[in-house]
Amino acid sequence: MTAAPHPPASSRRAGRTEARQSTLLNRAWGERFAPAPHNGADMTTLAFIGGGNMAAALIGGLLQRNRAADTIRVAETDAERRAWLTREFGVITCERGADVMDADVIVLAVKPQQLPPLLRALPYPLPDRLVLSIAAGARASDVSRWLGGHPNVVRAMPNTPALVGAGIAGLYALPGVDAAGRSAAEQVLRAVGEVVWVDDERLIDAVTAISGSGPAYVFYFIEALERAGIDLGLDADTARRLTLQTFFGAAALAIKDGAAPATLRARVTSKGGTTERGLLALEEGGVGYAIGLAARAAAARAAEMGELLGRE
């Protein structure tokens, strides 16, 4: 028999790197992104309207925390996506949102522009149902209005690291949401990371600018550092591995150590050394100022989107 060919060296190295990173993540971050398991005795039913990537991440996280698949239903218009969700997670799927409105917690996971007509067409009032919206830019007060004045609405802004169980979400609850409702919303989002609460819905725009858009800023910096490595003579694979592990390790160190970023930076920066010279170049290039500009621009756009959507 002919022996099976070995995978390319680059693939083997990538696999080993990924395994090492997973081990390091568990050691360095501990239980930070592993909330308490779901209480199996809690038979609260959960429905998702929209079965896209974020909904799938939340469903996967909930199942990993021992929520029973038969307590989750998903309304999704795309037949192929419905079949995938059922095959992947064993959850109940249907085509129409109206068919899942009897669930205890209803998660709105569709594109924001789809919300007004979708919600206005749903049957209401919804008695004590908790409505949790993860649609970007859709204000909780507008979601309530589109649902005929439903008071039990929580708005959440998750981010894409939720797809690997390392996300963080900002949450805001309308005054009509009680402690049990806030707890239920938090339990859903904690399935894929951490949560923070804000008392003023306008601060969700700031959350959007920092953690919602933030991963893109990080990827932008990764891209620039990787390109710099190539320009300095490294091959592309080495430049990427060095860059990704540096960001991964720096974040893990910052989380585990708990010191202020400025303190951590100072520990790495020797007087007259290479890091000091590099940081000076960043300061002269206005990088810190540009990051602030990016965050303010993103927050302003988030507010604009909320205003535009609120006119519906």
- The CATH number for 53's domain is 3.40.50.720
Q: Is residue 35 part of a domain?
A: no
Separation CA 191–CA 14 (nearest Å): 28
Domain hosting 234: range is 213-296
Q: Are residues 189 and 268 in the same domain?
A: no
Instruction: Please check whether residue 127 lies inside any domain of the structure.
Output: yes
Q: What confidence score (pLDDT) does residue 107 get?
A: 97
* Whether 147 and 182 share a structural domain: yes
Q: Is 34 inside a domain boundary?
A: no
Round to the nearest angstrom and report the end-to-end CA distance of the chain: 68
Q: How many separate domains does the chain show?
A: 2
Could you tell me the sign of the dihedral formed by the alpha carbons of 34, 183, 46, 136, in that order? negative
Let me know whether 269 and 172 are in one domain: no
Domain identity same for 66 and 142: yes
Q: Which of left, alpha, beta for 203 (phi over 0: left; psi -120 to 50: alpha)? A: alpha
Residues 167 and 242 in one domain: no
Same domain? For 189 and 289 the reply is no
Whether the link from the prior residue into 175 is cis, omega within 30° of 0, is no
For residue 164, give Cα distances in angstroms to 34, 132, 192, 229: 12, 21, 7, 27
Q: What's the pLDDT score for residue 249?
A: 96
Predicted confidence at residue 44, as pLDDT, reads 85
pLDDT at 1: 43
Say if 73 falls within a structural domain: yes
Measured CA to CA, the distance from residue 60 to residue 165 in angstroms comes to: 9
Task: Examine the domain organization and report whether 110 and 223 are in the same domain.
Answer: no
Token duo for residue 95: 């085509």
- Here the tokens at position 227 are 């390109």
Cα 287 versus chain centre, distance: 25
Query: Is there a single domain that holds both residue 185 and residue 232?
Result: no
Identify whether 276 is part of a domain: yes
Which of 277, 260, 156, 164 is CA-nearest to residue 208? 156
Assess whether 151 and 256 both reside in one domain: no
Tell whether 188 is covered by a domain: yes
pLDDT at 152: 94
Strand partners, 173: 154
Question: What does pLDDT average to in each consecutive run of 10 residues of the chain (312 residues)?
Answer: 50 54 51 48 80 94 92 96 96 92 94 92 81 94 93 95 94 96 95 96 96 97 98 98 97 95 96 96 96 97 93 86
Instruction: Check residue 23 and give its pLDDT.
Output: 53
Residues 238 and 122 in one domain: no
CB under 8 Å to 153, separation ≥6 — which residues? 130, 131, 132, 133, 140, 143, 144, 147, 173, 174, 176, 177
**DSSP assigned state of 238:** H
Q: Are both 85 and 194 inside the same structural domain?
A: yes
Query: What's the CA dihedral at 166, 168, 173, 178 to 10 degrees?
Result: 40
Q: Dihedral sign for Cα 38, 41, 42, 45, please.
A: positive
16 within domain boundaries = no
30: left (phi over 0), alpha (psi -120 to 50) or beta: left
pLDDT value for 55: 95
**Is 269 among the domain residues?**
yes
Look at residue 38 in the predicted model and tell me its pLDDT: 47
Q: Cα–Cα distances in Å, from 11 out to 223, 243, 297?
A: 21, 17, 39
Domain boundary among 165, 183, 204: 204
Q: Which residue, 204, 233, 266, sits at the end of a domain? A: 204
For the entire predicted model, the pTM comes to 0.83
Packing angle of the helix pair 53-64, 179-190 (nearest 10 deg): 100
Q: 144 and 275 in one domain?
A: no
Please say which residue of 152, 182, 204 terminates a domain.
204
Q: What is the CATH number of the domain that holds 287?
A: 1.10.3730.10
User: How far from 216 is each of 29, 170, 219, 220, CA to CA, in Å?
Assistant: 22, 17, 5, 6
